[in-house]
Structure 1
Amino acid sequence: MPEGEDLVTTVGAYRRLVTTLHRAKTHERLTEAAGVRLDRPDVQVLVYLLDAGEPCRIGAIAEGLQVESPHVTRHVSQLERRGLLERVRDPDDGRAWRIALTPEGADAAARCRQVTLEWFEAAVEGWPESDRAELARLLSKLSDDVCAHLQLRFAQSPANRALSPGHRAGASPPGGHSPRTPRGGEPTGLRTLSPGLRGARPPG
């Protein structure tokens, strides 16, 4: 194989996977199978909180999903009205609030995540255990390394350097949001292949 062609193959395969998982019909079938009526961003917020295992601040959710806080706030408000989320006092700061799943919200998130896991389980059903373990190892490594590289690259970009003290404090680099690392230091990006998959381990 010519030099570099293996990376072309890897990136092409990744693009096909992301395109398939992000199709509108894929999301419709996921929510239909899970028995819920939720938009993609709603599922992303619910599953993020399920994976976190504890209430989170709006900023932490936005950081984990790599979106802006106002975007999360809108969807949190909608999910609160539907009884899927609730606000609880932040134990570290009595003046602040965290967002928590209600029992109904936790159930909806768990069902969405389970549907995605079942899809992947069926796809790799015939794989040897060693291949499944190697997939888990390499995909996690790829996710960590690519996200870390891009975060560093974007942090060193001219647009981001302009955010240093004395410059425009509220500006964002190209793309509309800053590259971020979510709570606990876990990079995101490749791991958010599907709203129902974030944080879950590959089958096996």
Structure 2
Amino acid sequence: MVELERALARVAYLLTRVRRHDQAMVQCGFSMDRASVPLLRLLADADEPMRLGELATRLDVEAPHVSRQIQRLEKAGYVERVADPGDRRAQLVRPTASGRSAVEAIRQVMRGWMRDALAEWDTEDLEALARLNHRMVDDFLDHAEVIGDYGATARERPSRSA
């Protein structure tokens, strides 16, 4: 487990560096901050517009963070707010055509980097890597559902009255 944790930390580090993000923005011809990219990707992948609270929940961040990012993305023309047909008082957010183009351009840059870095890998190894990564993420998500308020499983969580 130690080596797996170290490998995952290295991958996370490589994928989240400011320099890497800045290079991707130059290559794809779009401009946005690092925190906006996962948010815009989530919106672009959604079948329908989403509420800010749902975005915060799915990204596991605080709602004010999402609100600030949406304001930036809206100002840049990447997203737009629309009325919620089920509740006229609420607003939903969806990507604009420019936002969808930005996501696709960013994905193309990232895929190009992966293609270059993994050029020596055979198809079977790439498929196995993708399959195992999906399995790992699914298991992490399944496990996260049983994590309590204190980072312990429900069985180990201290009572609130204590």
Written as runs of structure 1 = structure 2, the 5 A alignment for 1:18-167 is 18-155=12-149, 156=154, 158=157, 162=160
- Matched residues in 1 for 2:134 and 2:70: separation? 29
- Matched residues in 1 for 2:9 and 2:76: separation? 34
Name the % identity: 35
- Matched residues in 2 for 1:47 and 1:81: separation? 17
Deviation of 1:153 (Å): 2.5
CA deviation profile, 1:32-91 (whole Å, cap 9, x unmatched): 111122111122221111122431111111112110111100111122122221111223
Q: Unmatched 5+ residue regions in structure 1?
A: 1-6, 168-204
Q: Is the 8 A contact 2:44 2:94 kept in 1?
A: no
Taking structure 1 as the reference length, the TM-score comes to 0.69
Change (3 A) 1:151 1:86: same
Number of aligned residue pairs: give it: 156
User: Cα RMSD over matched residues?
Assistant: 2.0
Q: Unmatched 5+ residue regions in structure 2?
A: none
- Matched residues in 2 for 1:154 and 1:25: separation? 35
Q: Is the 8 A contact 2:24 2:109 kept in 1?
A: yes
- Matched residues in 2 for 1:32 and 1:9: separation? 34
Deviation of 1:158 (Å): 4.2
